[in-house]
Amino acid sequence: MFGKRLGLKSLFGMTLAVLVLSCTRATEWTGPTDDQSTAVSSGLIREAVGDLNLLRCEPLPYQRTVKTIGSRGGTIAVGRHSLVIPAGALRSSVKITAEAISDGTNSVRFSPEGLRFARSTRLVLDYSNCPLSGTLALPRKVVYTDELLKILELMPSLDYPRQKKVEGDVDHFSRYAVAW
């Protein structure tokens, strides 16, 4: 009876509208409301990788830091970059090696490779040594790369252009770099 009053086309249209609205992504990772920050939707990670380029930078000296971090969490700094591991991300103490690689990108490598966290950790990459001409309007992002610097995955990221830093959530160890 309801279908007869509205008409089948109207009923179909309403049903389609409800389905479309219910399927939209509501899982966007949001950060500070500072208009200088840019949030990246974790739902768009795979689609955006092909359009990314690594940010070209003045090489910094190679640096290496080794630190043991346990279940209480901690911070490991390497050069101008840092990794903040929250409490509960590791179940036991792990000897972590962080390397700031000296090349034309701002990239870091963490080991033991493949280490997975129970909770996301926050990687902060500094890009103050990178000329930004041509990329000023584009947000910087944290990307997961292979050893040849091929971008494998875009991490949920926040760009802070005034501080020339980008933060990203990471859940495992490997190599990461700044992209735009």
CATH number assigned to the domain comprising residue 116 = 2.60.220.30
Confidence at residue 46, expressed as pLDDT on a 0 to 100 scale: 35
31 has pLDDT over 70: no
47 has pLDDT over 70: no
For residue 93, tell me if it sits in a domain: yes
For residue 131, tell me if it sits in a domain: yes
For residue 120, tell me if it sits in a domain: yes
Q: Residues 177, 54: contact at Cβ < 8 Å? A: yes
Q: Residues 20, 39: contact at Cβ < 8 Å? A: no
Rounded percentage of the chain residues whose pLDDT exceeds 90: 59
In terms of DSSP H, where are the helices of 49-177? none
127 has pLDDT over 80: yes
Q: How confident is the model at residue 138 (pLDDT cuts 50, 70, 90)?
A: confident
Domain coverage including residue 82: 38-179
Rounded percentage of the chain residues whose pLDDT exceeds 70: 69
For residue 32, tell me if it sits in a domain: no
Give the number of other Cβ atoms within 10 Å of residue 38's Cβ: 17
Q: Residues 96, 111: contact at Cβ < 8 Å? A: yes
Confidence at residue 134, expressed as pLDDT on a 0 to 100 scale: 58
For residue 31, tell me if it sits in a domain: no
Q: How confident is the model at residue 115 (pLDDT cuts 50, 70, 90)?
A: very high
Per the structure, how many domains does the chain have?
1
For residue 16, tell me if it sits in a domain: no
pTM reported for the whole predicted model: 0.71
For residue 11, tell me if it sits in a domain: no
pLDDT digits (tens, 9 = 90+) for 55-97: 999 999 999 999 999 999 999 999 999 999 999 999 999 999 9
| Average pLDDT for 3-9 | 45
For residue 24, tell me if it sits in a domain: no
